[in-house]
């Protein structure tokens, strides 16, 4: 399943065209898909347009009575996709703007990349059709340089495809809409922050060229270029912290998987439920003891991570070690508190 996530605010002129174009893409390139649209307190008739398209398309609408902003709307749609999927390792989500500045035609190549093994695919702006205001063009060129993410040049694209299992890992296993927010920034910065949080968990990150269709935009841009540049400058610490925490989560998840594989290789299918000697060698310390990791960025301490063996449980009739991993850290106004649990046996 492909979940196409479209945040919208006062996009009555274009949102219907964008949705219909998505339908055309997946008619010519047959794949099962769902459209998830957040109507972020629109006042221009967007709700009526969406209601009419909901009658003929696989469309779910999330309506906000008060404005929440791009980041919160996008995150809500991504969490909704994660809740609906039953195969997170296979299914993916695509984030798409509702103003037609991105051509949905790129989605075919994005899905092909996901199906060939990429976990994250970014449609990078390499071409412009139509003319953007000079100030907007300059801000669009410089903002990605202030918000770098390894492996991605156009970090503020906002048009990307992601495997849902990667999103689940970035959320620390908690995909519920009531969990702690994933994104602390908004606007262009939120697009970069999303990539910074996803990339450390992706085995492969691909980029494809895309054209910015300024010739199809039906309204003046709401972006205030100099404010975006200032916001990007202020968000640099958040993006760095996001990368650091993401790498820590990825490393710890890999360690837990390695311990799990070691435990399986050492155990015998004929072992008694009371014999857990085959599991214990995979963990270098007994029940109740812990390891504490310090995460640093340069000379600054940005957080701690604690891993401990909480106990020995029985899972599906087999003995398993209960591992608990806690992360606490952040920088400036961003803070993260996450708990991961795993049963190795």
Note the pLDDT tens digit of each residue in 323-336.
777 778 776 666 67
> 172's torsion region: left (phi>0), alpha (psi -120 to 50) or beta?
left
* Poorest-pLDDT segment among 152-156, 243-247, 272-276: 272-276
In angstroms, the CA 259 to CA 137 distance is 49
pLDDT of residue 268: 44
One domain for residues 6 and 155: yes
In angstroms, the CA 202 to CA 121 distance is 10
One domain for residues 224 and 303: no
pLDDT of residue 205: 93
One domain for residues 188 and 285: no
Q: Which candidate, 146, 153, 145, 82, places its Cα nearest to that of 122?
A: 153
Rounded to the nearest 5 percent, the helix, strand and coil shares of the chain are 35, 30, 35
> How do beta strands 318-331 and 290-297 pair?
unpaired
One domain for residues 61 and 125: yes
Q: Give a yes or no: residue 27 inside a domain.
A: yes
29-39 confidence digits (pLDDT tens): 999 999 999 99
pLDDT of residue 181: 80
One domain for residues 107 and 38: yes
* Poorest-pLDDT segment among 41-50, 104-113, 233-242, 278-287: 278-287
* Poorest-pLDDT segment among 136-150, 269-283, 304-318: 269-283
pLDDT of residue 299: 67
Residue 292's pLDDT band, with cuts at 50, 70 and 90, is confident
pLDDT of residue 227: 67
Average pLDDT over residues 75-86: 96
Average predicted confidence (pLDDT) for the chain: 77
Backbone angles phi, psi at 171, to 5 degrees: -85, 0
Q: Give a yes or no: residue 257 inside a domain.
A: no
pLDDT of residue 276: 34
Average pLDDT over residues 254-264: 50
pLDDT of residue 318: 72
Q: Give a yes or no: residue 194 inside a domain.
A: yes
CA distances, 295 to each of 213, 239, 244, 246, 306 (Å): 42, 15, 8, 11, 11
One domain for residues 216 and 282: no
In angstroms, the CA 167 to CA 94 distance is 12
Q: Is the pLDDT of residue 208 over 90?
A: yes
Domain count, the chain: 2
Q: Give a yes or no: residue 240 inside a domain.
A: no
One domain for residues 122 and 203: yes
Residue entry with tokens 């993260």: 336
Q: Give a yes or no: residue 254 inside a domain.
A: no
One domain for residues 57 and 7: yes
One domain for residues 197 and 312: no
Q: Who wins on pLDDT, 178 or 17?
A: 17
Q: Is the pLDDT of residue 280 over 50?
A: no
Q: Give a yes or no: residue 265 inside a domain.
A: no
pLDDT of residue 275: 36
175-197 confidence digits (pLDDT tens): 555 567 888 887 767 888 888 88
144-186 confidence digits (pLDDT tens): 666 667 778 888 788 999 999 999 988 876 555 556 788 888 7
Q: Is the pLDDT of residue 309 over 60?
A: yes
Q: Of the candidates 234, 252, 287, which is a domain's last residue?
A: 234
Q: Is the pLDDT of residue 201 over 80?
A: yes
Strands (E) located in the chain:
2-8, 33-40, 59-64, 92-95, 120-129, 160-163, 205-213, 290-297, 300-315, 318-331, 334-344
pLDDT of residue 271: 40
Whole-number percent of the chain with pLDDT over 70: 63
Residue 82's pLDDT band, with cuts at 50, 70 and 90, is very high
pLDDT of residue 308: 78
Q: Which candidate, 239, 154, 193, places its Cα nearest to that of 75?
A: 193
Q: Who wins on pLDDT, 252 or 18?
A: 18
In angstroms, the CA 298 to CA 311 distance is 36
Residue 279's pLDDT band, with cuts at 50, 70 and 90, is very low
One domain for residues 207 and 60: yes
Q: Of the candidates 188, 205, 234, which is a domain's last residue?
A: 234
Q: Give a yes or no: residue 250 inside a domain.
A: no
CB-neighbour burial class of residue 251 (10 A; exposed 0-12, middle 13-18, buried 19+): middle
Range of the domain at 283: 271-344
Q: Give a yes or no: residue 205 inside a domain.
A: yes
Q: Is the pLDDT of residue 344 over 50?
A: yes
Q: Of the candidates 234, 258, 291, which is a domain's last residue?
A: 234
In angstroms, the CA 95 to CA 107 distance is 10
Average pLDDT over residues 248-277: 46
Q: Residues near 198 by Cβ (< 8 Å), separated by ≥ 6? A: 119, 120, 162, 166, 167, 170, 246
> For the domain that residue 106 is a member of, what is the CATH number?
3.90.550.10
One domain for residues 165 and 80: yes
One domain for residues 193 and 287: no
């Amino acid at each position: 399943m492909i979940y196409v996530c479209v945040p919208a605010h006062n996009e009555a002129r274009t949102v219907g065209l964008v949705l219909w174009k998505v339908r055309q893409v997946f008619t010519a390139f047959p794949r099962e898909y769902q459209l998830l649209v957040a109507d972020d307190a629109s006042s221009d008739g967007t709700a009526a347009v969406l209601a009419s398209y909901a009658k003929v398309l696989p469309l779910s609408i999330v309506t906000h009575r008060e404005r929440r902003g791009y980041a919160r709307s996008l995150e809500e749609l991504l969490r909704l996709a994660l809740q609906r999927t039953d195969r997170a390792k296979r299914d993916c989500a695509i984030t798409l703007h509702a103003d037609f500045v991105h051509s949905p035609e790129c989605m075919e190549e994005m899905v092909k990349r996901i199906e060939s093994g990429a976990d994250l695919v970014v449609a990078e702006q390499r071409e412009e059709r139509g003319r953007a205001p000079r100030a907007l063009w300059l801000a669009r060129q410089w903002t990605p340089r202030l918000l770098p993410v390894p492996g991605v040049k156009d970090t503020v694209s906002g048009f990307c495809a992601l495997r849902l299992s990667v999103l689940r890992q970035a959320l620390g296993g908690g995909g519920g809409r009531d969990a702690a927010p994933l994104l602390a920034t908004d606007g262009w910065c939120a697009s970069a922050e999303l990539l910074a949080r996803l990339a450390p968990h992706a085995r492969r990150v691909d980029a494809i060229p895309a054209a910015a269709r300024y010739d199809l935009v039906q309204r003046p841009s709401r972006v205030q270029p100099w404010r975006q540049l200032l916001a990007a400058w202020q968000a640099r610490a958040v993006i760095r912290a996001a990368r650091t925490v993401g790498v820590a989560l990825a490393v710890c998840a890999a360690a837990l998987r390695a311990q799990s594989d070691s435990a399986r290789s050492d155990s015998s299918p004929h072992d008694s439920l009371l014999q857990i000697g085959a599991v214990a060698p995979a963990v270098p310390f007994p029940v109740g003891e812990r390891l504490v990791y310090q995460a640093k960025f340069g000379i600054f301490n940005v957080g701690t991570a604690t891993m401990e063996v909480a106990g020995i449980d029985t899972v599906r009739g087999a003995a398993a070690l209960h591992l608990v991993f806690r992360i606490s850290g952040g920088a400036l106004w961003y803070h993260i508190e996450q708990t991961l649990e795993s049963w190795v046996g």
